[in-house]
Each structure stands twice: as structure tokens, then as C-alpha cells.
Amino acid sequence: MEEYKYSDKEIQNEKHLSVLNVPVEIPVAEIEKQINNKIKGLIYDDNSYEDENNDNLKAKVWKISPIKVVAIDSSFLFEVPLKIWVSAGYKVSPLGMTMSGYKDTEFSIRIRLISKIGITPSWQIHSETYVDSYDWLTEPNIRVAGINIPIKGMVSRMLSKNFDKITDAIDEQVASNLELKKSAELAWNIARQPVMLAKEYDTWLVIMPTGVEMTPLLSKNNILRSVIGIKGYTQTITSAVKPPMPAAQKLPDLRIVEKVQDDFKIGLISLVSYEDAARLATRQFAGEKFSFLGGKYSVEVTSIEMYGQNDRLVIKAGLKGSISGDIYLKGIPYYDPATQQLSLKSLDYDLDTKNSIVRTAGWLLQGQFSRMMEKRMVFPVGGQIADAKNTIQKTLANYKVTDGVVVKGILSDIVPDKVYLTPKHLYSVVFATGKVNLKVDGLKGI
């Protein structure tokens, strides 16, 4: 009896867990440029003598030249040149005369900041910036009635209390210029778009993303680099029209990993109809006689039919000669990567056939007829698979999805999966494994 576990549609809907790599490259020079564009002129303004426990000090802080940024591993080093104006209250008593009032002074410093970058599971960039050191380019000085009034310590305390206003501004600009979530959402949605892999085969690649992971942002040659890995199921679909895009899902939480795997799988399908397989097999055996027991008995194969019974291929062979009629054999089909052929293993007589032969033609069981049938029941499908792989490789070499978005990949190994029996075909499914990148212009810069 014919029995099938799978339909043609189910085979074409088979899914393979894969990882789509999305390289991230952000030049540090671009971050530096954006920070300098945003942080201009006046950074801090203290216009009260009474605040900060009546510190008797007013101050203004300006950026006087571009901020320099250097990235080392996962940290930024900032060099921030500042001009500072201070109005300080004084009280002196030269020659027994008390004098008081306010005096202004200007001076310059260069601050060195260190900022450590991290990313939360909710895709938020968080940077922790702190002052590493600072140098006096010019020192603060107030002179009243020929007397130098030391205010450097007072100014240092004021600076230490207010450095957080500068570091907060730096943190804000780092976060706003590393908006990875928007870029990841763009890549996530682009990955869901069906890609035409081979027009001549009407073959489409569909990815159903399920999760996102990312390597830490690290700098090399003053470029911040990372890899976003979109994990999902790849599906190879044969369709004359573009398949529907998988249902939308919001970008999931991020998982930071040391390395994103480059394990991408594309299912390659070759198929042979039962009619074609039977015709090829019949042609092999046409006119050939098989002898048994030293030529005492002989048979000739006159016809072959095939169909499926769950995971086994049933071969109905018509014989004439010392025995005439139909015999049934069953075997397990598999794809042999060495010969690139669809072959059979464990081919043996069906139980009913075996019982019948025992009674009427036991000599047929003593020969090697079933083994010979198994050895010669091979169907070349390697050409289909090789052609499909080559065509898909050409597509993946540089596939433009839309402006600024390119798929690039290389397929390496062919890994057998399984042979499936459906009501009409023998399906040989293999994996083409390799690495596939989704290059998005928005992820190359800010």
C-alpha cells in the first residue's frame, strides 16, 4: 500500500536554523565629528556667588577647540580643551586696611576623560565617563593691591564638583551617536524579505528571524567594529511568485556574545518523480537476463514501478522466465555525497513476496538478485544540486536587496539531510552551508 508522511509543500517548508551576520563598522572619526558638532561654546554656567555653600564664586566654561577622540578596545579616550572664566570674591588686609570685592580671571585647562561603553539587553547604549586627569594650560590668578590671591585650590574644587556636567554631556552624545537599535531593527526587517535565489528554478530564500545576538563593540584601527547575528530559520521555497513575508515580530532583547557564529544553511532540493525513476531503472535492466543455480533458472525484468510507503521506497518489478509475475522489494532511499546519486540501502523483498517465493521459487532468495537491484538502483541528482548551488552562489556574491542594502555570502560544504517520499516525488534535500552577510550602509557609519 502507498503511504506518505510528507507532502510536496511540507518538504519545501522545511526550516533550518541559521545565523545571518550583519557587520557593524563605525569610524571613530565620525563619532568625534558628531560630538564636536553637538558640544559647542558654553558648556557650564554658574552665575551665583551663593550656591555650593556660598562658595563666593561664579564661573563659565567653554570648549575652545575640537575635542579629540581615540578608541581603545571598548573604551573612548577624550581630550577636551576648555577656557574657564571665574569671578571670585576676595578679602585682603594690606597694611591693616581691609579690602574686599570681586575679581575676574580667565585660564585654560585640558581634561582627559575615559568612557567605557556597554549595551543593555534593551539595546540602550550606556557609557560611564570619568575624568582621568587634567592639565593647567594657563593658571587662574587674581592680583589685588599688588598681592597675588591664590584661587587655584578654590577653582580646582569647583571643577571637581562640576566635571559631571561635562561627562554627562559626553555620555549623552555617545549614546545619541551610537543608536544601534534603529540599525538593528532595519536589518531585522530586511532579513524577513524573501530573496530570489535562482530564477530558473523559481527558488526563493525566506528567513524567519527568532533572536539577535551581538559581539561587544571593540575598536581596531580607530574603527568601532561588531557583528550582529540574526538567528532564524531559513526556508527554501519553490514558487513562481514571491512568497509572503513572514509575520512581523518586534526586535527581541539583545544577547551579548563573544563570537557570532557564521553557520548559515540553505536547503537545496533535487527531486525525481516516481515515473522518471522507474523509467531510468527499466532502461538499465531492459533485455538483461539473470541466472541462478548455475544457469538452472533465469529471469528477465520486464517492467518497474515505484511508490512510497512511509520512509521506504517500494519497487514493483515485473519478471518473466523461470518465474513470471510481479515481485515487491522495499528499501531506504538516501543521498550519497560520494557519488552524488540517490541510492538505496537495505533493499529486501516485501514480506508477502518473500513468503510467496519460498513456496514457489526459493532459488530466487538464494541468489543476489535483491543486492544487485540495490546496487543498480541509483539515480543521478548531483547535477541538479550542483547547478542549484552554483546559481545560488552567483546570486549571493552581491545581491542588492534595495538601495544601500546588499547580501553577500559564500557557500562551502554540501551536507546531506534526508530523502523524503511524497505522493509524487523522491526529494533529496541537502544543506549548502556557508557564511552570509547582510551589509547595510546605515551600519557602516553614523
Could you tell me which residues come within 8 angstroms of residue 368 by beta carbon, excluding any fewer than 6 positions away?
A: none
What value does the mean pLDDT take over residues 105-128? Answer: 89
| Average pLDDT for the chain | 84
Backbone φ and ψ of 388, nearest 5°: -65, -45
- According to the model, what pLDDT value does residue 239 have? 76
**Set of cell numbers at residue 119:** 549595551
Helix (H, G, I), strand (E, B) or coil at 11: helix
Pair 399, 407: CB distance under 8 Å: yes
Determine the angle formed by the axes of helices 274-285 and 369-376, rounding to 10 degrees: 120
pLDDT band at 91 (very low <50, low <70, confident <90, very high): low
Please compute the mean of the pLDDT values over residues 236-240 and round it to a whole number: 77
d(CA 357, CA 167): 91
| Contact of 410 with 354, CB cutoff 8 Å | no
> β-pairing, 68-72 with 75-92?
antiparallel
**What pLDDT score was predicted for residue 155?**
77
Report which residue type is found at 205: L
Higher pLDDT, 406 or 305: 305
Distance, in Å, from the CA atom of 445 to the CA atom of 25, rounded to the nearest integer, reads 6
Neighbours of 230 (CB within 10 A): 25
- Cα–Cα distance measured from residue 15 to residue 420, given in angstroms and rounded to the nearest whole number: 14
Average pLDDT rounded to a whole number, residues 177-195? 85
Considering only residues 96 and 85, tell me which one the structure prediction assigns the higher pLDDT.
85
In angstroms, the CA 183 to CA 175 distance is: 14
* Backbone dihedral region for residue 326 (phi beyond 0: left; psi -120 to 50: alpha; all else: beta): beta
User: What are the tens digits of pLDDT across the range 5-58?
Assistant: 888 777 766 677 889 999 888 888 888 888 888 888 888 787 877 666 666 778
Nearest to 212 by CA among 231, 193, 226: 231
Contact 45, 60 (CB under 8 A): yes
Query: Of 36 and 267, which is predicted with more confidence?
Result: 36
| Over residues 110-135, mean pLDDT | 90
3-state secondary structure string across 354-369: HHHHHHHCCHHHHCCH
Confidence of residue 146 (pLDDT cuts 50, 70, 90): low
Amino acid at 32: E
pLDDT for res 187: 87
Residue 225 pLDDT > 80, yes or no?
yes
Q: What are 201-210's pLDDT values in tens digits?
A: 777 888 889 9
For the entire predicted model, the pTM comes to 0.70
Q: Give one word for 340, left, alpha or beta, with left for phi > 0 and alpha for psi -120 to 50.
A: left
In this structure, how many other beta carbons lie within 10 angstroms of the beta carbon of residue 365? 14
Of residues 369 and 20, the one with the higher pLDDT is 20
Rg (CA), the chain: 38
If you average pLDDT over residues 179-191, what whole number do you get? 85
Asked if 222 and 262 touch (Cβ cutoff 8 Å), the reply is: no
Question: Has residue 445 got a pLDDT over 60?
Answer: no
pLDDT at 442 over 70: no
Q: Decide: helix, strand or coil at residue 169.
A: helix
* First CA to last CA distance, the chain: 64
